[in-house]
Structure 1
Amino acid sequence: MIIANEYFNGNVKSLGYANDGKSTLGVMEPGEYEFSTALHETMNVIEGEMTVKLPGSIEWVTYKAGEAYQIEANEKFQVKVVEQTSYLCKYQ
């Protein structure tokens, strides 16, 4: 089953699906966002880039197309996007 998700007044949209676990494939419009996790996440940047402040960090790190980062379950993290950016998020 495919599930449509929409966050931040439509500025972040994704399609959720189950294929060897749970994943979402989405797009973010330019902006600043704070996300919460329920499960461990691996975020793969497909196009564009994300500047991310991970839990417990004071530094912002930029991840570009082809790069990935991970967030543990039950955490919050911040993301800045300056251009439309697509991603694949895998949950474990």
Structure 2
Amino acid sequence: MSSQFDAVTVRIKPNIHYKGRSISYVIECQDGSKKTLGVILPTEKPLIFETHVSEKIEIISGKCFVQREDNENIEIYSSGEFFTVPANSRFSMQSTEVVDYICHLE
């Protein structure tokens, strides 16, 4: 798990979705890769996200319930774990606590 990113460019305008329940910032690394650093606030209903590229989502803190479009099961991910989502698909996340994450855009 990453503890910090050195020599990055941060887009200062956040991506805000679901009335502020999901907030993230895009960072660009020296090698050209892009990531988002974000937070999901507790939700009563799952938040649905669409991907354009494949994504690896690392959970930094908290616990969330994830359902991917290609899987009927709801999976639980906690601090130190990650899940992947294919390009051009949908997934949902829900949590009863604050979740911090890093999304590696591939």
| Shared fold (TM-score, shorter chain, > 0.5) | yes
Matched residues, number: 92
- Once residues 52 and 41 of structure 2 are traced to their aligned partners in structure 1, the CA distance between those partners, rounded to angstroms, is 23
Structure with bigger RCO (C-alpha 8 Å, 6+ apart): 1
Structure 1 residue runs of 5 or longer lacking an equivalent are none
Name the residue aligned to 1:91: 105
- Once residues 67 and 9 of structure 1 are traced to their aligned partners in structure 2, the CA distance between those partners, rounded to angstroms, is 27
> What is the CA-CA distance between 1:78 and the residue it aligns to?
1.0
1:43 to 23, 36, 57: 57
Name the residue aligned to 1:14: 24
Name the residue aligned to 1:25: 37
- Once residues 15 and 70 of structure 2 are traced to their aligned partners in structure 1, the CA distance between those partners, rounded to angstroms, is 27
- Once residues 22 and 49 of structure 1 are traced to their aligned partners in structure 2, the CA distance between those partners, rounded to angstroms, is 24
Name the residue aligned to 1:5: 15
- Once residues 72 and 56 of structure 1 are traced to their aligned partners in structure 2, the CA distance between those partners, rounded to angstroms, is 9
Which structure is higher in strand share? 1
Name the residue aligned to 1:61: 75
For residue 9 of structure 1, give the secondary structure of its aligned residue in structure 2. helix
Greater Cα radius of gyration, structure 1 or 2:
2
Q: Deviations over 1:26-54 (max 9, x none)?
A: 11111120000000000000000111011
* Runs of 4+ that moved beyond 3 A: none
> What is the CA-CA distance between 1:71 and the residue it aligns to?
0.3
> What is the CA-CA distance between 1:2 and the residue it aligns to?
2.0
